[in-house]
């Protein structure tokens, strides 16, 4: 790519997943400007990227003129997913949280230096009016597009997080797929995506040791075990999968993410059978069922070891911010494909 680095405009930047993906991809691109309106997310972002020009502002206040002065080559973004999510009202373009995205559609035709776009959202976006408007705006400006529904499982990462992705570029078409297909796997022979030989277990992503008081912070309360013990998604260190962690993880028990059997010396099946027999929660407590820590979730989502939260960020906020973030490895792989 030569000495000149490509400039990235990072929109809806959250806690910096796109930024880390760009670093991991190592494609000679740097984030020159980052925007999000979420105060908590911005604090985490600035804590980790002190040198980046990160602005807390509404994207609707960004004009084409202001963006053109930054001379970005790439726009990376992860717009609000609530208008399209399975647990939302699915108001689509009528949702007020789409207003900034709709503003971007008006801005895109006037961007002078942008040749590449990468966007992430929830499954469901692909059937939305917003998707139709977005792809129409890109195509009218000469972009070729490819769309995907991908999970980290595609990269042998033991965590399910199925998401919609769009990549777009000007001037040359992609050497794979068509604009009418939504791909559910990475294209074959695409750049140098590092695919492990076999599916990884959860073990390498877990924290190595816990002090007793630290473990106590993450153990599921007895009342949660009693009420939800039968529906919890319980995983062991040797498992090769886990459920998607949402922003409600630890706040709601059902459908928000897996829990871990910390004491692997006990037989889960035996203890659960005993619990079913006499409904004594002590049987389940002996398994030391705990929530995955925020660090472990960050590991599964591809955030590097040096990523951290400010000390003042509460545990619940850490889980919420991670639940709203993205998988760094998936985005990094797509960025390589986009720029190859």
Active site residues: 81
Q: In sequence order, which residues have a C-beta less than 8 Å from that of residue 197 and are 6 or more positions away?
A: none
Q: Which residues are within 8 A (CB) of 1 and not within 5 positions of it... i.e. 6 or more apart?
A: 27, 28
Q: How far lies 219's CA from each of 173, 238, 295, in Å?
A: 51, 19, 15
57 phi/psi in degrees, rounded to 5: -160, 165
Q: What φ, ψ does residue 163 adopt, rounded to 5°?
A: -140, 160
- Enumerate the β-bridge partners of residue 118: 76, 167
- Residue 335 token pair: 């960025």
Contacts for 143-146: CB closer than 8 Å, 24+ residues apart:
143/117, 143/168, 143/169, 143/170, 144/168, 144/169, 144/170, 144/172, 144/173, 144/174, 144/179, 145/179, 146/174, 146/176, 146/177, 146/179, 146/183
| Dist CA 107 CA 96 (whole Å) | 18
């Amino acid at each position: 790519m030569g000495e000149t680095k490509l400039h990235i405009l990072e929109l809806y930047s959250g806690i910096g997943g796109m930024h880390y993906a760009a670093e991991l991809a190592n494609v000679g691109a740097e984030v020159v400007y980052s925007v999000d309106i979420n105060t908590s997310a911005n604090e985490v972002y600035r804590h980790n990227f002190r040198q980046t020009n990160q602005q807390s502002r509404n994207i609707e206040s960004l004009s084409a003129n202001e963006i053109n002065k930054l001379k970005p080559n790439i726009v990376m973004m992860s717009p609000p997913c609530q208008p399209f999510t399975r647990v939302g009202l699915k108001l689509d373009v009528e949702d007020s949280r789409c207003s900034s995205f709709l503003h971007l559609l008006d801005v895109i035709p006037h961007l002078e230096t942008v040749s590449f776009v990468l966007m992430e959202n929830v499954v469901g976006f692909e059937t939305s009016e917003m998707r139709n408007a977005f792809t129409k705006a890109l195509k009218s400006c000469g972009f070729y597009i490819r769309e995907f529904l991908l999970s980290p499982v595609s990269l042998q990462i033991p965590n399910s997080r199925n998401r919609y992705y769009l990549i777009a570029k000007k001037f040359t078409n992609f050497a794979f797929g068509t604009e009418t297909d939504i791909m559910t796997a990475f294209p074959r022979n695409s750049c140098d995506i590092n695919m492990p030989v076999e599916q990884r277990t959860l073990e390498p992503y877990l924290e190595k040791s816990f002090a007793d008081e630290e473990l106590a912070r993450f153990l599921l309360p007895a009342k949660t075990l009693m009420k939800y013990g039968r529906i919890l998604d319980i995983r062991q260190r040797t498992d090769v999968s886990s459920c998607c962690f949402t922003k409600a993880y630890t706040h709601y028990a059902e459908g928000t993410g897996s829990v871990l059997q910390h004491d692997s010396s006990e037989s889960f099946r035996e203890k659960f059978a005993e619990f079913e027999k006499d409904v004594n929660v002590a049987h389940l407590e002996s398994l030391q069922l705990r929530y995955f820590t925020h660090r472990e979730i960050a590991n599964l989502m591809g955030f590097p070891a040096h990523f951290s939260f400010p000390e003042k960020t509460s545990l619940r906020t850490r889980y919420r911010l991670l639940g709203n973030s993205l998988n760094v490895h998936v985005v990094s792989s797509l960025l390589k494909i986009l720029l190859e």
